[in-house]
Amino acid sequence: MAEQTRINGTELAEEFLADFLRHPEGEKLKLCIQCGTCSGSCPTSEFMDYTPRQIIAAVRAGLLDRVLNSNTIWVCSSCYSCTVRCPQGIRLTDAMYELKRLAIKHDLFPRGAKAPVLEEAFMHEVDKYGRNPESAMMTRFYLGTNPLEAVRQAPFALGMLRRGRLKLREKRIRGHAQLEAISRRAEEVD
């Protein structure tokens, strides 16, 4: 992991709000009444250091650095229960994605967390090939988390290779240049 960016919770909260308020219906975030319906509906909140309701409280209190340094956003399974049930129409799942983007941008996640490495590996392969070749993604993931696990999985990979279930050379999708143009445009807008 790169050296952590020196950015405090208030600055993070301001950056998050500026980005999130540009989402469709992002303004509704300000309408949170802290009812806790989101946390009560969330199938993974009991494993989170901060519940979905507490995330909005943290944004308001300028304590977003604590949330990003916790396991919360990486435990979210994107099931949309919170979004569907929020009485104020707040799209909390979108907020989780926005927080993941922010965490990766500022290199703020718990030491040893695997989900951010997996997400980076996934995006790297999609950028390169226009899709996700699993063998390349998993190699990248193991090298970033536990290289010994890559060695342990080698016999399994060889077996798949023999049965033609794994490729050594991956091909880009047709129209990859168009995908690159879309990504570039999205980054400019961002």
- Residues interacting with ligand SF4, by CB under 6 A? 32-38, 41-45, 52-53, 56, 76-82, 86-88, 90, 92-93, 96
| Exposed / middle / buried, residue 16 (Cβ in 10 Å: 0-12, 13-18, 19+) | buried
Complex with ligand SF4: residue 21 or 154, whichever CB lies closer: 21
Nearest-approach distance from CB 83 to ligand SF4, in angstroms? 6
Complex with ligand SF4: residue 71 or 139, whichever CB lies closer: 71
Complex with ligand SF4: residue 118 or 160, whichever CB lies closer: 118
- Please name the amino acid found at residue 105: K
Cα–Cα distance, 114 to 121 (Å, whole number) = 11
- 129, 167 Cβ separation under 8 angstroms: no
DSSP structure string for 74-125:
HH-----HHHHH-TT---HHHHHHHHHHHHHHTT---TT-SHHHHHHHHHHH
Complex with ligand SF4: residue 54 or 142, whichever CB lies closer: 54
Nearest-approach distance from CB 150 to ligand SF4, in angstroms? 29
Complex with ligand SF4: residue 10 or 77, whichever CB lies closer: 77
Nearest-approach distance from CB 4 to ligand SF4, in angstroms? 25
Nearest-approach distance from CB 79 to ligand SF4, in angstroms? 4
Q: What angle in degrees, to the nearest 10, is found between the helix axes of 115-129 and 92-105?
A: 90
DSSP class of 24: T
Nearest-approach distance from CB 93 to ligand SF4, in angstroms? 4
